């Protein structure tokens, strides 16, 4: 196809936005392993999951054969409020790097949640509403997911209860205020409102909380209140499914202008954004229609793909959730206090893990000072202040573009820019003051994490 003049930003029209989510599992030869009941080590049944999750979402979670799930009209209407998100040609970055590479990024941050999280939040809230529930509970660390969920619930008139890791609750009061503005009830975790919270407070009186603990509290709250279910913002198959609007949008925009990316990359914490971006392209690969180099970028401080093991492990540190087969550092691994809160997760989505295991994608890890250097350079020429999480992808995209300058290759690089950094200025301040350091876990640190992975036959 003849190359058309590429605008700075490609916006799809409403008619061109996807009408169905794409389920990459349908095209995978090796399906992601099923969630296991930690007591029996048998696959979790829909019935068992129904105590925690909404019914329709469980169907999406368990279905690995249906390639497309229609997006209900009410969700598509919500998407129209902040989507289509632009596919941006990074002309200014290319010029600054003096690279022959062409760089594109799919920008998901132009909404009040500040990230791609809204894509799944509205879907999960919609199905909860549809099931006649009163509300949902969840946990949030850095706050993007909690914000997104509170926005979705406000829109649908659903109650929203967020357990926010106590140190974030105290250090990020502005994120908390956004959630409150959207009517959510935000509780610092651990709290006195749940049994598990009280137990943890008794055991560790001064604790500032953890994501694992907040998950446990949110799950307990959901299962102990009539008309509530628990929702999660990453890792799960259903979340990746909803996030495929990112990749489907991108695919349509690229096709419209006859652009074929050589490299596709994104940051990976739990895998929701990366999985959503790459799924349709991985589908092409799996069906033998096209080939792409796909790269997951993770922090060197929490390297689940590059240094983890492929095992069944708990999704939470409290070890009450089902077991998922994934690349993991162990549910007991404690990542250092990096500024990319959204990437501080010990595991990786089963879908992304399986694709990585099968050699359909690569992974790289990067250190946070080099990530902030890339973020600043990007901000100054592209005009967007990126989230620390998203900046991991910027770092590797820039490295690839610089390599192209050296080799003369005219590669087309596509990356996902998941969010903005407006609530991360403490981190930027540290970087501006030259006061930021890197942390790479030692082999002994990793071993301590691996020791927390449950041992049972077939899980070695």
Residues forming the site for its own copies (CB under 8 A): 7-9, 11, 13-14, 77-78, 80-82, 91-92, 110-112, 114, 151, 154-155, 173-174, 177-178, 180-183, 376, 379-385, 420, 422-423, 425-426, 428-429, 432
Cβ nearer to its own copies, comparing 17 with 33: 17
CB 113, min distance to its own copies, A: 9
Q: How far apart are CA 289 and CA 453, in angstroms?
A: 38
Cβ nearer to its own copies, comparing 121 with 231: 121
96 and 259 in contact (C-beta within 8 Å)? no
Cβ nearer to its own copies, comparing 5 with 287: 5
Cβ nearer to its own copies, comparing 116 with 311: 116
CB 83, min distance to its own copies, A: 9
For the chain, the residue count is 460
Cβ nearer to its own copies, comparing 260 with 380: 380
139 and 189 in contact (C-beta within 8 Å)? yes
CB 426, min distance to its own copies, A: 8
Q: How far apart are CA 143 and CA 395, in angstroms?
A: 23
CA dihedral 164, 169, 175, 176 (to 10 degrees): 80
CB 368, min distance to its own copies, A: 15
CB 159, min distance to its own copies, A: 13
Cβ nearer to its own copies, comparing 89 with 346: 89
**What CA–CA distances, in Å, run from 193 to 183, 187, 214, 289, 320?**
19, 9, 12, 53, 18
CB 418, min distance to its own copies, A: 15
Cβ nearer to its own copies, comparing 132 with 434: 434
Q: How far apart are CA 189 and CA 303, in angstroms?
A: 26
Q: Which residues contact 297 (CB under 8 A, 6 or more apart)?
A: 265, 266, 267, 268, 363, 364, 365, 366, 392, 393, 395, 396
Name the 3-class secondary structure at 365: strand
Q: Which CB contacts under 8 angstroms, 24+ apart, belong to 373-382?
A: 373/431, 374/398, 375/421, 375/428, 376/428, 376/431, 377/93, 377/96, 378/93, 381/92, 381/93, 381/95, 381/96, 382/88, 382/90, 382/92, 382/93
Name the 3-class secondary structure at 376: helix
CB 136, min distance to its own copies, A: 16
* Nearest alpha-carbon partner for 300 in 179, 190, 441, 405: 441
Cβ nearer to its own copies, comparing 66 with 110: 110
CB 423, min distance to its own copies, A: 7
Cβ nearer to its own copies, comparing 9 with 403: 9
CB 425, min distance to its own copies, A: 4
């Amino acid at each position: 196809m003849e190359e058309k003049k590429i605008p700075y930003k490609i916006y799809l029209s409403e008619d061109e936005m996807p009408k169905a989510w794409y389920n990459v599992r349908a095209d995978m030869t090796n399906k992601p392993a099923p969630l296991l009941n930690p007591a029996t080590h048998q696959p979790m049944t829909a019935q068992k999951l129904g105590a925690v999750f909404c019914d329709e979402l469980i169907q999406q979670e368990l279905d690995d054969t249906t390639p497309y799930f229609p997006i209900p009209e009410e969700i598509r209407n919500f998407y129209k409020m902040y989507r289509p998100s632009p596919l941006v040609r990074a002309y200014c970055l290319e010029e600054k790097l003096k690279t022959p590479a062409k760089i594109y990024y799919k920008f998901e941050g132009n909404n009040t949640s500040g990230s791609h999280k809204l894509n799944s939040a509205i879907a999960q809230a919609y199905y909860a509403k549809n099931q006649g529930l009163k509300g949902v509970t969840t946990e949030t660390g850095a706050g993007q997911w909690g914000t997104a969920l509170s926005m979705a619930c406000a829109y649908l008139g659903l109650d929203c209860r967020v357990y926010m890791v106590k140190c974030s609750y105290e250090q990020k009061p502005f994120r908390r205020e956004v959630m409150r503005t959207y009517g959510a009830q935000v509780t610092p975790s651990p709290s006195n409102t749940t049994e598990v919270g009280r137990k943890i407070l008794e055991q560790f009186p001064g604790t500032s909380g953890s994501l694992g603990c907040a998950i446990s509290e949110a799950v307990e709250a959901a299962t102990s209140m009539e008309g509530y279910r628990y929702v999660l913002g990453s890792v799960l198959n259903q979340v990746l499914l909803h996030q495929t609007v990112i990749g489907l949008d991108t695919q349509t925009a690229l096709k419209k202008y006859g652009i074929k990316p050589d490299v596709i990359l994104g940051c990976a914490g739990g895998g929701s954004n990366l999985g959503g971006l790459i799924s349709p392209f991985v589908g092409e690969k799996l069906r033998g229609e096209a080939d792409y180099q796909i790269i997951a970028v993770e922090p060197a401080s929490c390297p689940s793909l590059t240094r983890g093991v492929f095992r069944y492990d708990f999704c939470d540190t409290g070890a009450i959730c089902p077991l998922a087969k994934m690349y993991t550092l162990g549910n007991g691994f404690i990542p250092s206090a990096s500024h990319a809160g959204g990437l501080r997760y010990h595991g990786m989505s089963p879908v992304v893990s399986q694709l990585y295991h099968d050699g359909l994608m690569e992974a790289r890890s990067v250190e946070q000072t080099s990530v902030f250097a890339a973020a600043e350079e990007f901000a100054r020429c592209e005009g967007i202040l990126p989230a620390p999480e998203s900046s991991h992808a910027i770092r590797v995209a820039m490295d690839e573009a610089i390599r192209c300058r050296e080799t003369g290759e005219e590669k087309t690089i596509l990356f996902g820019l998941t969010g903005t950094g407006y609530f991360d200025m403490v981190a930027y301040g540290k970087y501006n003051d030259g006061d930021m350091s890197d942390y790479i876990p030692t082999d002994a640190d990793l071993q301590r994490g691996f020791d927390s992975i449950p041992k049972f036959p077939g899980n070695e």
